[in-house]
Structure 1
Amino acid sequence: MVDQNGADQDGIFIGASADGRRQSLVFQRANRHGLIAGATGTGKTVTLQGIAEDFSRAGVPVFLADVKGDLSGIAMAGSPTAKTHDAFAQRAKEIGEADWSYADNPAIFWDLLGEQGHPIRTTVSEMGPLLLAQLLDLNEVQEGVLTVAFTLADKEGLLLLDLDDLGAMLGEISARADELATTYGNVSKASVGAIQRALLQLRSQGGEHFFGEPALDIHDFMLLDEKGRGQVSILAADKLMASPKLYATFLLWMLSELFEALPEVGDPDKPRLVFFFDEAHLLFDAAPPSLLQKVEQVVRLIRSKGVGVYFITQNPIDVPDTVAGQLGNRVQHAIRAFTPKDQKAVKAAAETFRANPGVDVAKAIIELKTGEALVSLLQPDGSPAPVERTLIKPPRSRVGPITPAERATLRALSPVGGKYDTPVNRESAYEKLAAKAQASAAAAQAAPAPAGRAPATAPPSVWDKALTSATRAASSSIGRQIANQVGKQIFGSGRGASGGGLAGSLVRGVLGSLIRNI
């Protein structure tokens, strides 16, 4: 059965095996997560795009992390003049997809930097000390100091919205370290300085754009268009690859926000939202055990919120076993077994599929051509189907990026319009602590000096000292000239003048004293 948008009401058609057996992703099991893996150039992006657009047609909102910048084409219909047209048309014919035709999809563009889409922001408080410590690569001691800053800000009603607020709060706990030691333990200036340097590095990577207001309303990832199609939210993540920790932390933050915001629904008739995370290894590489545990927990529990998570990666062993064990729907493209790691991946992938006597998985993985994949999807009863060698259906939308002009037009027509484009800077910790410091300085300046003590004067500046030295030098020269002239006029220039020795001594003594005091 199909709905008004032409989508299958029971599931998503993935492709067909050589004997015509259709492989479909059942909607009721689509929130059990999935994996799309394979070497570069084997067809992962095309597979991802075809699945995402069918979710949208079925009324399921989709989030795509566009790492390579080539998923934006999902917003535009494909074209018969495209280079891929003949190959796609032939493939659709081979798998018996008679109604295949080009179509666009509703899309909203996002960008943490605010350049290629609506900016995505969160506040420092919403991120929390655990994820922020991971983002800043802090050790346990520094993470403890960061937690003190969050705790004190909450206790004293100081909002932590952006990185300026956090920097000001760190300065505050450093200044009050002795006072806070009895309640929170030692707060060393060395640890505060290390966190401040990490914040500076984060700023240099563009991280300051991610923190502030207006903060993202996570429900804006779950919109439908006027035809009932799910909006496809596309995150421009190409520049984020230079900041892998920011990318990974952002993805985990989104999942955590969804988990907290959405009610329990169990296994709905179809997912409420589906995430596709490209370059999944960035989420797991060099992650500490505490973060991996958090990822595993969120992926495991968010299923009950009706959210499906699909990881896309070149090598299936990039995903830790604790997470991979929760990925019930699998599409495995070819792996080029040129290295020991690749050979290990082939073996690992072969062992994860439900066996099919008619398919030699280990052999097929290295023989698959572009557009082919080994597919095993969850059946209606929740069990995985036996693996099948499958020719993947072609997408209906454009393969490749859209033009800047097309992006600008789509952004102007976005349903979230100007909701996020203009930043808001309300009074928070930075402003309040700055006002407090100014008030303290003004009070200290206005306070009277203690009795019996001269008023405090500011120490002379370098400029003042230079002027004083120059004045003394000039005065000394003038004074010496005056002394010589006075002496000559009083006693004359002759050596034999009566009393000249005593008088000369007196004059030199008096004038010398005057000169030294000028």
Structure 2
Amino acid sequence: MGEDRIFVGGGGEGYSAPQDLLLGYGNRHGLIAGATGTGKTVTLQILAEGFSAAGVPVFMSDVKGDLSGIALPGSESHKLHAAFMKRSATIGMDLKYGSYPVTFWDLYGKQGHPVRTTVAEMGPLLLSRLLELTEPQEGVMNVAFRIADDEGLPMYDLKDLRAMLTFIAENATTISTTYGLVSGSSIGAIQRRLLVLENQGGENLFGEPALELADMMRVDPDGRGRINILAADQLMGAPRLYSTFLLWLLSELFEELPEVGNPDKPKLVFFFDEAHLLFDGAPKALVDKVEQVVRLIRSKGVGIYFITQKPADVPDDVLAQLGNRVQHALRVFTPRDQKDLRLAAQTYRENPRFSTEDAIKEVGTGEAVTSFLEDKGIPGVVERTLVRPPSSQLGPIDIGTRAMLMAGSPFAGKYETLLDRDSAFERLAVRAEAAAKEAADAEAAEAKAKLDAKEFQIDAREFNSARRYDGGKAAPRPAARKSGGGDSVGEAFAKSFARQLGSKSGQAIIRGVLGSLFKSR
């Protein structure tokens, strides 16, 4: 079995020799496929155990809530203990129960440490995908990010993004001359989509402290890689949020990690469960981005393993790069199922001992058709394999145990307290306040000037009238009227405010809110 490989299964009458995943090709990606209830979760669990034992950190999402048992050793009291021991003997494995180092994460901060990113780090492309925006709406989103960069308005959370969109709506005419047309209807549609996202709990994803990738790539002092488990049972209620978050995480790994060539073992293995959600309805530009990430990220030591029901759920350009494959049973009920089965069988290197298509239909729960990369990266011949039992607990842990493990985590307390730094929301609020004060001062000065002029005219008329009455002699100059006579300052301000966009004070509002961006040149 060796230290350079992960034992997956095999052995026994009618089955293959031991099937191993070579660590040197662990970053060549992989696929775990099969119908519901055929054993994909156990395969995912034993691969995570194998990578961890080899010192490779793992990230995986727990979509059904039953992967947390990796943190505890298996037990002889488990109902499947006898079956596990029998299978171990069949495949020539000495099963020893043991636990693995686990870190729990949760976007909602309930079943794990909060995991967040910032709006700026997510970027306009992924945010547009998350919000299901049209092309014109995506254009407005790009304008918002560009102005935020140009004006030094950092966007950390959704209130920052909302403030930027409100700012653009209030100054759409001026902004359109510099950045291209932005329409009020597009901005309104984005704001409505943000409301939907917030109702789904999406605001929990954005903010600080943001996740540090190094915290997901931790190796414990005993040499084992930590297994990062994202609680996704609640998150699956918002599938677009789930898939976009995982895609963001992949993109961050791709952008931040250095090139390492062909390492002896991966730097991180990333399991993408329910992978079809990533591609359902995705625009071609996004699929192209995923294909690029999958193709290039292996040179940074990251292996990506997609878990889904059918290989057909994954686009061909991505599927072609998945070298290590575990295919559990596919159920055939319709002509479409038959076509998917045939296509799945055609992706394997044939074994003359049996029909791959028949084997995929016939394997039972815990069995699989496997093919792993061999020396020089050549795909191995397809084999029927008995998947080995897990060493850790099969099934979830209880709430108390989870809380205890979280309290003892090396990251306990690091992400729990939400920060709210000075950002676009606060800075735009300061600008608006300054603009309002400048406008009020300008209007007050304008109103006072008009009032003084009016009083001067009244004084002049009274003076001339007195001269005529006194035979041309000068009469005493009357006292100036108080502001309560005629139009008050408040009334004058109210009337002038209606005309402010065409007045100097209206220009002051624009200057005050926009800062230096649109000042006269």
Q: TM (normalized to structure 2)?
A: 0.85
- The whole-number CA distance in structure 2 between the counterparts of 1:415 and 1:359 is 50
Moved over 6 A (4+): none
Measured after TM superposition, the shift of residue 336 of structure 1 is 0.9
* 1:76 corresponding residue in structure 2: 72
For residues 398-423 of structure 1, give each alpha carbon's deviation from its aligned partner in whole angstroms, at most 9, with x where no partner exists: 11111000100000011112111111
The answer as to whether partners of 1:449 and 1:456 remain within 8 angstroms in 2 is no
How many equivalent residue pairs?
Answer: 453
Quick one: which of 35, 49, 53 aligns to 2:45?
49
**Which residue number corresponds to residue 513 of structure 1?**
none
Of 1, 11, 14 in structure 1, the residue corresponding to residue 8 of structure 2 is 14
Structure 1 residue 90 corresponds to structure 2 residue 86:
yes
Tell me what 2:403 maps to. 408
In 2: Cα distance, 1:341 partner to 1:416 partner = 47
Measured in 1, the distance between the counterparts of 2:112 and 2:136 equals 38
Per-residue deviation at 1:117?
A: 0.4
Aligned partner of 1:204 among 199, 205, 219: 199
Change (3 A) 1:225 1:449: same
Give the corresponding residue for 1:432: 427
Supply the RMSD in Å over aligned alpha carbons. 1.4
Hey, what's the Cα distance between the residues in 1 that align with 2:375 and 2:258?
A: 23
Deviation at 1:340, TM superposition (A): 2.3
Higher Cα Rg: structure 1 or 2?
A: 1
Q: Please list, as runs of the form range in 1=range in 2, the aligned pairs for 1:234-245 lying within 5 A after superposition.
A: 234-245=229-240
Pick the aligned partner of 1:134 from 126, 129, 133: 129
Q: What is the aligned partner in structure 2 of residue 232 from structure 1? A: 227
The CA distance in 2 between the partners of 1:63 and 1:385, in whole Å, is 26
Residue identity in the other structure for 1:146: M
Corresponding residue of 1:396 = 391
Q: How many angstroms does 1:120 deviate by?
A: 0.8
Partner secondary structure for residue 262 of structure 2: coil
2:27 to 19, 27, 31: 31
Mapping of residues 343-358 of structure 1, within 5 Å? 343-358=338-353
Mapped to 2, the partners of 1:143 and 1:369 lie a distance apart of: 47
Q: How does 1:55-454 map to 2 (within 5 A)?
A: 55-98=51-94, 100-446=95-441, 447-450=444-447, 451-452=449-450, 454=487
Q: Which residue of 2 aligns with 1:472?
A: none
Aligned to 2:416, what secondary structure does the other structure show? coil
Structure 1 residue 31: deviation in Å?
A: 0.4
Normalised by the length of structure 1, the TM-score is 0.86
Aligned counterpart for 1:40 among listed residues 33, 36, 39: 36
CA displacement at 1:442 relative to structure 2: 2.5
Q: Is the 8 A contact 2:15 2:385 kept in 1?
A: no
Alpha-carbon shift at residue 375 of structure 1 (Å)? 0.5
Percent identity between matched residues is 60
| Residues 377-386 or 170-179, more deviating | 170-179
CA distance in 1, matches of 2:227, 2:340: 32
- The answer for unaligned runs of 5 or more in structure 2 is 452-486, 496-521
Residues 359 and 387 in structure 1, CA contact (< 8 A), matched pair in contact too? no
SS at match of 1:419: coil
Secondary structure of the 1:418 match is coil
1:149: Cα distance to partner? 0.7
Shift of 1:204: 0.5
After superposition, give the CA deviation of every residue in 1:262-304 in whole Å (9 maximum; x if it has no partner).
1111110000000111111111111111111111111111010
Aligned AA for 1:14? V
> SS in structure 1 opposite 2:303?
strand
Indicate if the aligned counterparts of 2:15 and 2:383 stay in contact, CA closer than 8 A.
Answer: no
Question: Tell me, what secondary structure is at the counterpart of 1:301?
Answer: helix
Corresponding residue of 2:459: none
Residue pairs, 1:474-489, within 5 angstroms: none
Measure, in 2, the Cα distance between the counterparts of 1:252 and 1:82.
36
Contact 1:123 1:162 survives alignment (8 Å): yes
Inter-partner Cα distance in structure 2 for 1:159 and 1:46: 43
Alpha-carbon offset, residue 260 of structure 1:
1.0
3-state SS of paired residue (2:450): coil
Q: Amino acid of the residue matched to residue 400 of structure 1?
A: G
Equivalence for 2:490: 456
Task: Give SS of 1:396's match.
Answer: coil
Counterpart residue identity of residue 26, structure 1: L
Q: Which residue of 2 aligns with 1:471?
A: none
The superposition leaves residues 83-117 of structure 1 with CA deviations (integer Å, 9 ceiling, x where unpaired) of 1111111111100002x110000000000111110
1:482 corresponds to: none
